[in-house]
Amino acid sequence: MSKLGFEPSEADPCLFLHRELQIMVLNYCDNQIWLSPDNQLIEKYVQSLKDLGYDLELEPKGDIFGVLGIEFSTDPTTGMTKLSQARLIDKVTVSNAPR
């Protein structure tokens, strides 16, 4: 990712940011979620990774809700995207509760 101008986020080393071009890539195991206001930029950078020898397959475009237990929501007023894992947190805390 660094060869393509991405930097890991300080908050999460699995989140890569290309600040200049406004692209975010969330990378866990063999799954990636690409977010950008410009889909052509995403396609360009995915192709760049393929050119570097990575075997990538794009899923059909569509909703990304619920990937890896991550919930995505968009504020209709600001257009800001929020990521949360409330269901996963609830599942972990309930399964680890004292009996």
Q: Residue 72: its pLDDT value, please?
A: 77
Q: What is the pLDDT along the chain (99 residues), one digit of tens a residue?
A: 888 899 999 988 899 999 899 899 988 777 788 888 888 998 899 899 899 998 887 776 665 655 666 777 888 899 888 888 777 677 667 666 665
The pTM of this model reads 0.62
Q: Residue 60: its pLDDT value, please?
A: 67
**Residue 45: Cβ-neighbour burial (10 angstroms; 0-12, 13-18, 19+):** buried
Q: Residue 97: its pLDDT value, please?
A: 60
- Among 56, 55, 65, 57, smallest CA distance to 85 is for 65
- Among 30, 15, 37, smallest CA distance to 81 is for 37
- CA–CA separation, 49 vs 1, rounded Å? 8
What is the separation, in whole angstroms, between the first and last Cα of the chain?
Answer: 45
